[in-house]
Amino acid sequence: MVIGVAFGLMGAFFTAGMYVAGALGCLSLIVMFFFSDKPLWNQMSAIAWRGSTDFILVAVPLFILMGELMNRSGMGERMYAVISRWIWFLPGGLIHTNIVSCAIFAACSGSSVATSATISRASLPSFRQRNYSERMVIGSLAAGGTLGILIPPSIGLILFGVLAEESIGRLYIAGFIPGVLLSLTFMVMIGIMALIWKGMAPRETGESFTSWESWRARLLASFQLLPVMVLIFLVLGVIYMGIAAPSEAAAFGVSGAFILAVALNSGEVLTPLLGGVLRRTPFIYLFTQSTQATLRSAQLPSPETLREVMARNTRMVQEAIISTVRTTGMIFLILMAAFTLSYAFARLGTSQQIAEAIVGLNLTDWQLVLALVVFYLILGTFMESFAMMVTTVPILIPTLKAAEVDLVWFGVIMVLLVEAALISPPEGINLYVLHGVRRDVDREEAERTGQPLRESTISDVWVGVLPFMGCMAVTTALVLAFPQIALWLPDLLFSAR
């Protein structure tokens, strides 16, 4: 009875467009009021306090802030330009650059929304100039953005670890190989489609791989990725080596992202200082002639330039912090509501009833996991992915433990399914992020050229992501069939369980 009422009300609330936190909180109060003799409001403050004081949750706002700083520093545009120098010759051209850029940026931000917004803002105008299929480009950006929730550091893996009381370190390492596998699956599919449909992506021309000058320019440009690689090592290395907990590593990452963002945003000040050092050393001859001339002619910045740079950096940090506060407030409000709902279900015995019902079916561990895969795929078509995780994981964990399902393995599968939900029409949040960015680009292009505003619909995004959802299905099936894809690396580093 309680289960039917709860899921009926939840479906009605989400269909009516109620905010996720409000829907979960109201559902908790309603079921406790009608089915329990103990009012929930007497316990809500204690539940909220217990749910929000777990130290590991400190990593969530820190990783969000790290992604915001990287997003607003221009690193996405620089990274995109560097990667395109290396893979322009592949069938599908620069569409592959979207996937590689998203994979690298995902390892910095941990956020799918930040990854999609950053890379799409940098890439959409150039794709339009080259007459690529916009549906395929949008699809690659939406799907590539989902790598931000799988490739560590991942906010999704942190939340699953908190909800399931599982090791964040093992989950991070378990997500690495599936994340790389998913990226390669995307790229193979793009290449095959580009060979079949020739008009999807024009044949690109780029720097030759046979001349010293082109290699020197390519390698020098690649040095722009060095700060990103250092930041990734800073965040992940200290976790894997046992030097720091995820929350402490997130603090390292924010500090590194802040220094990097300020440096990238202060070219007028740093270029003269760098030129003053390098022009007195032989290292200046490693650069191209135009760069050498820029470094030699750079003059010390004026006081007005210094003030302008400081104001720009201050504005960038303020915008990043405000955006982080908004996102973190939304996440924590949903999380506290989910903990409240979990308490209500536990108090009423609902969790135990669900577990007993599933156990009563006498499903094997494989049958249980496959049933949950189908359940999440259906749920993801109308429910927001983050809400889907926090509302169901606490209820299912006892059943999974009873069936002796490895929670690290299931956590990777869960995140893959949440990724699919991020781009599954009609509710996938990445689809609306991409559509919003595309409308912004359309507006800027119309203002710059004086042409009428381009008409674009969300249906283009829905069609574009379908091939990538097929790739996600293939990757999920491989991880289901071969659990060692996810478990081999954590078992190697932490020993098998």
Helix, strand, coil percent content, the chain, rounded in steps of 5: 80, 0, 20
3-state secondary structure of 93: coil
The verdict on 189 and 260 lying in the same domain is: yes
**Which of 310, 325, 340 is the last residue in one of the domains?**
325
Chain segment 394-432, per-residue pLDDT in tens: 778 877 887 788 889 998 998 888 878 777 776 666 677
311 and 211 together in one domain: yes
What radius of gyration do the chain's Cα atoms show? 24
Number of domains in the chain: 2
Residues 149 and 295 both lie in one domain: yes
Indicate whether 228 and 145 sit together in one domain. yes
Q: Is residue 155 part of a domain?
A: yes
**Which residues touch 481 (CB under 8 Å, ≥6 apart)?**
none
How many helices (DSSP H) and strands (DSSP E) are in the chain? 24, 0
Residue 132: inside a domain: yes
Confidence band of 138 (pLDDT split at 50, 70, 90): confident
Residues 88 and 210 in one domain: yes
* Domain identity same for 206 and 239: yes
Q: How many C-beta neighbours within 10 Å does residue 326 have?
A: 11
451, part of any domain: no
One domain for residues 287 and 366: no
- Residue 94 shares a structural domain with residue 234: yes
In a shared domain, residues 166 and 27: no
Question: Are 173 and 282 members of one domain?
Answer: yes
> Is residue 478 very low, low, confident or very high in pLDDT (cuts 50, 70, 90)?
very high
Average pLDDT over residues 124-142: 79
Lowest mean pLDDT among 51-60, 273-282, 418-427, 467-476: 273-282
Give the domain-ending residue among 325, 342, 363. Answer: 325
> Which amino acid would we find at residue 126?
S
- Rounded to an integer, what distance in angstroms lies between the CA atom of residue 277 and that of residue 248? 35
Q: Which domain holds residue 82?
A: 57-325
Same domain, 255 and 229: yes
Question: What are the Cα distances from residue 373, in Å, to 85, 189, 420, 421?
Answer: 39, 23, 11, 12
3-state secondary structure of 152: coil
Given a cut of 70, whether residue 8 has pLDDT beyond it is yes
Contact predicate 153/250, CB 8 Å? yes
432 lies in some domain:
no
How much is the mean pLDDT over the chain?
76
pLDDT in tens, 159-209: 888 888 888 888 888 988 998 899 899 989 988 888 888 777 777 666 777
**Average pLDDT of span 487-493:** 87
* Burial class of residue 178 in the structure, from the number of CB atoms within 10 Å of its CB (0-12 exposed, 13-18 middle, 19+ buried): buried
pLDDT tens-digit readout, 219-229: 777 777 777 77
| Percent of the chain clearing pLDDT 90 (strictly above) | 3
The reply to whether 418 falls in a domain is: yes
Per-residue pLDDT, 358: 65
pLDDT winner (highest mean) among 14-23, 67-76, 144-153, 173-182: 173-182
Q: Pick from 294, 325, 356: which residue ends a domain?
A: 325
Contacts of 482 (CB under 8 A, 6+ apart): none
The reply to whether 459 falls in a domain is no
What is the pLDDT, as a whole number, of residue 68? 75
Position 194 in a domain: yes
Q: How confident is the model at residue 95 (pLDDT cuts 50, 70, 90)?
A: confident
Whether 76 is in a domain gets the answer yes
- Residue 485: its pLDDT value, please? 92
Considering the domain architecture, whether residues 204 and 271 belong to the same structural domain is answered as yes
Average pLDDT in the 109-132 region? 69
pLDDT band for position 291 (50/70/90)? low
Taking residues 466-492, report their average pLDDT.
Answer: 89
Q: What is the dihedral of CA 23, 24, 25, 31, to 10 degrees?
A: 100
pLDDT digits (tens, 9 = 90+) for 345-385: 767 766 566 656 665 677 777 788 888 888 777 766 656 66
Three-state DSSP at 131 gives: coil
Length of the chain: 497
